[in-house]
Amino acid sequence: MKITAPPITDAHWRGFTPMADFDPIIAREGEGCWLTTTDGRRIFDGVSSLWCNVHGHRHPKIDAAVRDQLDRVAHVTTLGMSCETTEELAIRLAEITPGDLGHTFFSSDGSSAVEAALKMAFQYWQQCPSPQPQKTQFLALGSAYHGDTTGAVSLGGIKYFHQLFAPILFSPVRGPVPCTYRVPDKVDPLTHYAGQIETLLSHHHDQLAAVVIEPLVQGAAGMITHPAGLLAAVREMCDRYNVLMITDEVAVGFGRTGRLFASEHESVTPDIMCMGKGLTGGYLPMAATIARPHVFDAFLAPATDSKQFFHGHTFGGNPLAAAAALASIDLFNETNLVESVEAKGDYLRQRIGTLSGHSNVGDIRGRGLMVGIEIVADRETKASPDPSHQVGRKVCQAAMERGVWIRPLSDVIVAMPPLVATNEELDILADAIIESIDQTLEDTFS
């Protein structure tokens, strides 16, 4: 029987993409904050190629680092051995992460970094100096998103991402959605949400291995921005109730919020930190799970005791990715890029702020160069638009017509450009978003 080859648009099955209903965009090359498509369009990368591009495409320093590593070795396993480039990166990460985080386990993506953290925390309580084997549960926030592997999905609380897979997932202790936009009337947001989390910890701490939290901003939840002080409050509660704290810095790390790591805003050192996306400057797949000494030490024992961490991936710690990561860290040290992020974020929000009086723009929020614009059907009730209107998707399609590539989170329009974007480029991004929202909302609600 003759087998017919599928159309080219179907050969590549894209993630989170309605394959029967989308217009394919295929990049041929990139430079700085811009991509050139195969049909000759030049488009601004308004979401940093899914939030990971830091220094721009084709940065000479990172390009050179990867080429140099190719002349030495492309891959070496980290199961029982390693590569000197990977060893150097582990040392550098110990130097730049908060507090005494100092023991790095490498993987290939943010979901895998979170998966490793869950297993690390679970195994820790089985074999730490005072074992508590009943500590097998995790506390995760409402509307959480920590990745797409099974354990990470189990932590998640976004209906469209996670509900379908419920039969194969574990159930976490579910915390509140600490949203400063939809906070109940006449309450202090920090006191309100911290109190809810403490109630859960007081009831469940004997069974909890860890609290898992995205610091400051829950990205995939719709750029949900936490009240100031919540992260520090959770750290204090974890210490008081003897529960590990895992921070997921995959989206917020590497300068995105105006600090190298978002945890630094509130002087927090988690027990375990997860990172990915910007780790290599957005060049190559690499993630890391970094633990403090008391966690790492629980895995130290003679081989006959079988207390080693029972987890590992073929390409974890890949030398090419490690070389890109080292070059990216060098660039942070050689420039004032992180220090410029808050000013750039303020500028972008100020430009987009002209939308704040629109009857269907509910909130403009974020930290640093993480910006979300929430579209609502009614500003008084904060009700979301009818899903059939596909408002977020239509806004992004209109932006693409203006030469700007962005992706929505339902009806939250996301702007997360590379950190190196200039004010002139931020103007291009802002103008496209403003015009596209105006056009779409007029078509939808008028």
What pLDDT, in 10s, does the model give residues 241-285?
Answer: 999 999 999 999 999 999 999 999 999 999 999 999 999 999 999
CB 276 within 8 A of CB 286: yes
Cross-strand partners of 208: 137
Write out the residue limits of the CATH 3.90.1150.10 domain(s) in the chain: 8-58+337-445
Q: Residue 353, annotated ligand binder?
A: no
Q: Residue 313, annotated ligand binder?
A: yes
Q: Residue 149, annotated ligand binder?
A: no
Taking CA 427 as the corner, what is the angle to CA 423 and CA 430, rounded to the nearest 5 degrees?
130
Q: Residue 316, annotated ligand binder?
A: no
Tell me how far CA of residue 317 lies from CA of 171, 277, 280, 368, in angstroms. 31, 14, 11, 29
Query: Which is it for strands 208-213 and 244-248: parallel, antiparallel or unpaired?
Result: parallel
Q: Residue 145, annotated ligand binder?
A: yes
Q: Residue 110, annotated ligand binder?
A: yes
13's CB contacts (< 8 A; 6+ apart) are 19
For the chain, give percent helix, strand, coil, nearest 5.
40, 15, 40
Q: Residue 181, annotated ligand binder?
A: no
> What span, in angstroms and rounded, lies between the C-alpha atoms of 167 and 152?
14
Residue with tokens 């290939």: 108
Nearest by Cα to 148 from 140, 139, 158, 138: 158
Tell me how far CA of residue 192 lies from CA of 202, 380, 424, in angstroms. 16, 22, 40
For position 160, what pLDDT does the model report?
78
> What span, in angstroms and rounded, lies between the C-alpha atoms of 56 and 130?
47
Nearest by Cα to 248 from 196, 283, 210: 210
Residue type, 109: D
Nearest by Cα to 321 from 41, 93, 4, 31: 93
Write out the residue limits of the CATH 3.40.640.10 domain(s) in the chain: 72-334
Residue 23, SS3 per DSSP = coil
Residue with tokens 């390693």: 82
Nearest by Cα to 436 from 52, 51, 57, 46: 46
Residue 376, SS3 per DSSP = coil
DSSP 226: P
For position 4, what pLDDT does the model report?
57
Cross-strand partners of 213: 247
Class of domain 72-334: alpha beta
Nearest by Cα to 274 from 115, 148, 41, 161: 115
Cross-strand partners of 247: 213, 273
Q: Which residues of the chain have pLDDT under 50?
A: 1
CATH node for 8-58+337-445: 3.90.1150.10
Nearest by Cα to 352 from 282, 387, 389, 404: 404
